[in-house]
Structure 1
Amino acid sequence: MHSRITLEAIDPLGDKYCKEFMIEKDLDGLADGKLGCSIEDSKTIMKEVQKIFVERQLDPWVRYYRACPTCDGLLPIKDYNQRKILTVFGEIPVRFPRLVVCQKCHPACCSTFSPAADICKDRATPELLELSTKLGTKFSYREASDLLATFLPDQSARTFTTLRNRTLAIGKRIEEAERRQRWFEDLNYPDRTQFELALSDDPVGEYVFNVDTAHIPLVNRYGGRTFEAIVGHYGRGGRGDPLGPVFAFGGGTQPRELKAMAALALKRQGYADQGKMTVISDGAECFKRLAGMLPAL
């Protein structure tokens, strides 16, 4: 049995597009309950649909950049580049041109650029990276890779190391984004609109910083090195107050970064340069100077 699937679309420029593709389905397994589309059939269908969508999205994008913003002429095409983009519905080959700067407006400039080169710099869509990271954090990398290969096309050729590298890369990006936030976010405490009399033993005005360390020994069988893990928690002293943020970092963290992290967490808890602060730690050497790193009280 042959099935023809037709996809019709109208791009933002008003041009119509129509494309057909065939799906073959036999009746041999009908008596055994093999009814309807299988997972493999759905993979084939979604890969073809995904390929059409990618082509139709890139076409108006390239045509938009071909128009010179100065003279409205078309930029000449020097050559074409080809690459493959990994999506949740398969590996899609794309072909996009490399354009030359308008020679009429800039006769002395011979540089070229590709309008589609910045799309999916990781050679994979953000949706696929997010899905791989979620599964990679909940299951083992091998199990997560097998799960993706079961339901998504073109994933069986990827090894679990690919998923592991994606997960670790996204984790590094999150850590770097948090680090930049700690360095560049304004940590100046705002001025209070009115004077508040500090009351003794007022739990609402108390800030509690709990911190603990754990020593991770070296395992000779697997290699690696000995390191120290540090876990911290900020909260308020009042009963029933919402829980504060919890964070963790390595023992080699620089004091400046630890100070910025503490100040940012206190600001998020509502600290405005007033209040009582209690530090609870296990007496580790790296935290004996913690009180001096925190904002002046």
Structure 2
Amino acid sequence: MQKLVWRVKLVADLGDEAAETEVEVARIERDEFTVPETLGLSLGEGKRLTAAIQTEMVRAQAATMGERFRCCAHCGSTLSSKGYRSVTFRSLFGDVPLRVRRLANCQCCREVADEPRSFSALTLERGIAPELAYVTAKFAALAPFAKVADLLAELLPVGGAVNAGTVRNRTRRVGEHIARLRPEGAADPDVDAVTPAVVIGLDGGYLRSRHRRPERNFEVLAGKVLNVDGSQHRFAFARNGNSASEFAEAVVSAGVRLGTPATVLCDGDPGLWKLQRQVMPEATLVLDWFHIAMRFEHALQAARGLGAGTFSDWRACKVVGSM
């Protein structure tokens, strides 16, 4: 039976009169007789293909950066190399081991701008691609950490998110970055400015703590601020002795001021009501429809219980017995 063969080649044109390079990144073979299972790329072939392309591209870019910084930007002299540093670049399309060149700064730069004695040609913050941090944090907000690790490893050639601990740590770093509501040293917002009315949803839930002591579970308060223009601002924090301050910072960062008309929707938890009165005493507190329905259901259940053992129940039993 005849074989069908595809060779996937990556051609690099790095410019600056550099010769084009051609690398075969994949070889795919199929029998002439095709069934749905062999039609197109398989999951494994797709992962190997994207990982191979990612490796060639990242290494070429790192090498180009190492050569571009060989000359001083001020005097044009050639900088001496201080060797290479081995790092791993982790991305959605695989882990890429790199040798990043380290260069000695020129004497003129150290005298004029007080530059360090050496620098790296390519700086990688924790060696993680922004896309990997984004996708990991997004799915970790919707599913358990272990499930997210399994999902990413199943669909993508990801090598650095193979366990729940890695997913948790990366999600935590993304959260810490987002939690910086405004730059350090920025002016305080105008608390007297009147802004359009907003609707604030506030709820709480319990999460399992990664530390068994002093408590196995802790409560997290989450909310959303809805503005009249349709924009939304979400926030969350762990309930503790500083919850009122954190709630106030969250609503202020969303544009809520002292004169802003606000409606707060919550589930009737006394702690949430107290928090709302501390931070926004003038706001209108509304019990959401789901918990209103639950209150009516509780009343109906109580009414049914009060009706048990009455004359009507005795009469119904008497009729059934006489039949």
Tell me whether the two structures share a fold, i.e. TM-score over 0.5: yes
CA contact (8 A) 2:7 2:24 kept: yes
CA contact (8 A) 1:215 1:228 kept: yes
- Pick closer, same or farther for the CA change 1:30–1:215 going to 2, 3 Å: closer
Q: C-alpha displacement at 1:80, in angstroms?
A: 1.1
- Pick closer, same or farther for the CA change 1:70–1:129 going to 2, 3 Å: same
Q: Distance in 2 between matches of 1:244 and 1:190?
A: 22
CA contact (8 A) 2:105 2:117 kept: yes
Q: Which residue of structure 2 lines up, in the alignment, with residue 199 of structure 1?
A: none
Aligned AA for 2:139?
L
Determine whether 1:161 maps to 2:165.
yes
TM-score (norm 2): 0.64
Determine whether 1:290 maps to 2:292.
no
- Pick closer, same or farther for the CA change 1:208–1:216 going to 2, 3 Å: same
Q: C-alpha displacement at 1:90, in angstroms?
A: 1.1
CA contact (8 A) 1:51 1:92 kept: yes
Q: Distance in 2 between matches of 1:104 and 1:157?
A: 44
Which protein has greater RCO, CA pairs closer than 8 Å, 6+ apart?
A: 1
Q: Which residue of structure 2 lines up, in the alignment, with residue 202 of structure 1?
A: none
Q: Which residue of structure 1 lines up, in the alignment, with residue 84 of structure 2?
A: 80
Q: Distance in 2 between matches of 1:122 and 1:225?
A: 30
SS in structure 1 of the partner of residue 73 of structure 2: coil
Q: C-alpha displacement at 1:241, in angstroms?
A: 8.0
Instruction: Deviation per CA, 1:211-257: give whole Å up to 9, x if none.
Output: 767585999xx662575554556568xxx985865544333336554
Aligned AA for 1:80?
Y
CA contact (8 A) 1:148 1:155 kept: no
Q: C-alpha displacement at 1:289, in angstroms?
A: 3.9
Q: C-alpha displacement at 1:4, in angstroms?
A: 4.2
Q: Between Structure 1 and Structure 2, whose CA radius of gyration is higher? A: 2
- Pick closer, same or farther for the CA change 1:249–1:10 going to 2, 3 Å: same
Identity %: 23
Query: 181, 186, 189: which one pairs with 1:187?
Result: 189
Q: Distance in 2 between matches of 1:226 and 1:147?
A: 26
- Which structure 1 segments of 5+ residues have no match? 193-204
SS in structure 1 of the partner of residue 85 of structure 2: strand
Aligned AA for 1:111?
R
Alignment: residue pair count: 269
Instruction: Deviation per CA, 1:154-191: give whole Å up to 9, x if none.
Output: 5398223322322222122222x23x369846412688
Instruction: Deviation per CA, 1:107-137: give whole Å up to 9, x if none.
Output: 9x99222121x22x12221111112222222
Determine whether 1:38 maps to 2:42.
yes
Range that drifts further, 156-165 or 75-84: 156-165
Determine whether 1:10 maps to 2:13.
yes
Q: Distance in 2 between matches of 1:146 and 1:279?
A: 38
CA contact (8 A) 2:202 2:264 kept: no
Q: Distance in 2 between matches of 1:91 and 1:97?
A: 19
- Which structure 2 segments of 5+ residues have no match? 284-323
Q: C-alpha displacement at 1:53, in angstroms?
A: 0.8
Aligned AA for 1:112?
S
Q: Which residue of structure 2 lines up, in the alignment, with residue 134 of structure 1?
A: 138
SS in structure 2 of the partner of residue 16 of structure 1: coil
Q: Distance in 2 between matches of 1:241 and 1:157?
A: 38
Q: Distance in 2 between matches of 1:37 and 1:280?
A: 49
Q: C-alpha displacement at 1:146, in angstroms?
A: 2.0
